[in-house]
């Protein structure tokens, strides 16, 4: 038996070393942080994407915008420069999914309250109804903190184009005049204005996933 071990000692040492290396490799592979995908228009359900950009496979970013918030302040890309943010589309008179979405956006607001790198942005899909005064009433009622969360209104075409050509977050109602059918989607945007995730804003589990993904995205900038 002793002669056997002497004969295969080198082989045993090599195999032991390889086993250790494999175990260490697996350990670090499992420990490695998940990286978030960069989403392109072709990754989305075509119902949410304007036909003009459905073919886009790379380099998609959120287009420049100029809207007005609940305080009458002008909100542009500069407001969100070098920020991670969560965007959605809603309207203040909605009685279906919007109350749940707004409640969950308020939950996110609470979680990011002390983090200067993260903001929220909610676009009205009925800008002709959601005036600055209406948005302000809604903001007060829902506990919106102005420094963290902008509710915006503005030109219907611009909001329509943002929804379907930038965020891929609403459906067209098929009529003329830029009609929109909003969805429950929350969209995570990185500091380079790229889409990094979409989540069901009415689903508690997906809200927790979104909060986790925000942390992952933040770590990627360190």
pLDDT at position 174: 83
- Per cent of the chain over pLDDT 90 is 81
The sign of the torsion formed by the CA atoms of 204, 69, 95, 168 equals negative
Residue 36 lies in a domain: no
Q: 17 among the known binding-site residues? A: no
Domain holding 165: CATH number? 3.40.30.10
Q: Are residues 53 and 111 in the same domain?
A: yes
Within its chain, how far is the Cα of 49 from the centroid? 16
The reply to whether 108 and 6 lie within a common domain is no
pLDDT digits (tens, 9 = 90+) for 131-155: 999 999 999 999 999 999 999 999 9
Whether residue 26 is predicted with pLDDT greater than 70 in this model: the reply is no
Q: What is the pLDDT of residue 4?
A: 45
55 shares a domain with 150: yes
94 annotated to a ligand binding site: yes
Let me know if residue 213 belongs to a domain: yes
pLDDT of residue 29: 40
Residues 7 and 81 in one domain: no
Domain range enclosing 77: 41-219
* The model's pTM: 0.84
- Specify whether 6 is located in the same domain as 63: no
User: Residue 175: inside a domain, yes or no?
Assistant: yes
Q: Are residues 159 and 190 in the same domain?
A: yes
Residues 199 and 115 in one domain: yes
Please give the Cα distance from 155 to 194 (Å, whole number). 23
Backbone angles phi and psi of 180, in degrees to 5: -125, 140
For residue 177, the model assigns a pLDDT of 78
Q: Model confidence over 162-177: pLDDT tens digits? A: 999 999 999 998 887 7
Tokens of 162: 């943002």
Q: What is the largest CA-CA distance in the chain?
A: 91
97 and 18 share one domain: no
Domain total in the chain: 2
- Residue 182 annotated as lining a ligand binding site: yes
Rounded CA-CA distance 97/102 in Å is: 9
In terms of Cα–Cα distance, which of 63, 86, 72, 80 is closest to 152? 72
5: pLDDT strictly greater than 60: no
Residue at 99 is within a domain? yes
Instruction: Give the per-residue pLDDT at 175.
Output: 83
Q: Report whether pLDDT(25) > 50.
A: no
- Read off the pLDDT of residues 83-130 as tens digits, 9 standing for 90 and up: 999 999 999 999 999 999 999 999 999 999 999 999 999 999 999 999
């Amino acid at each position: 038996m002793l002669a056997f071990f002497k004969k295969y000692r080198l082989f045993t040492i090599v195999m032991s070393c390889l086993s250790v290396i494999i175990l260490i490799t697996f350990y670090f592979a499992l420990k490695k942080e998940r990286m978030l995908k960069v989403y392109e228009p072709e990754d989305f359900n075509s119902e949410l994407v304007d036909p003009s950009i459905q073919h886009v496979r790379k380099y998609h970013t959120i287009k420049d915008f100029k809207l007005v918030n609940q305080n009458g302040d002008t909100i542009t890309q500069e407001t969100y420069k070098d920020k991670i943010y969560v965007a959605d589309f809603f309207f203040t008179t909605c009685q279906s999914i919007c109350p749940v979405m707004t409640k969950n956006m308020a939950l996110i607001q609470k979680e990011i309250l002390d983090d200067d790198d993260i903001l929220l942005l909610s676009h009205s899909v009925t800008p002709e109804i959601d005036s600055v005064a209406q948005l302000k009433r809604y903001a007060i009622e829902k506990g919106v903190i102005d420094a963290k969360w902008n509710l915006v209104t503005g030109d219907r075409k611009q909001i329509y184009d943002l929804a379907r050509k930038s965020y891929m977050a609403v459906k067209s109602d098929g009529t003329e005049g830029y009609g929109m059918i909003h969805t429950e989607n929350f969209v995570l945007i990185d500091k380079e204005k790229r889409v990094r995730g979409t989540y069901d804003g009415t689903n508690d589990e997906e809200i927790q996933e979104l909060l986790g993904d925000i942390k992952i995205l933040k770590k990627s900038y360190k």
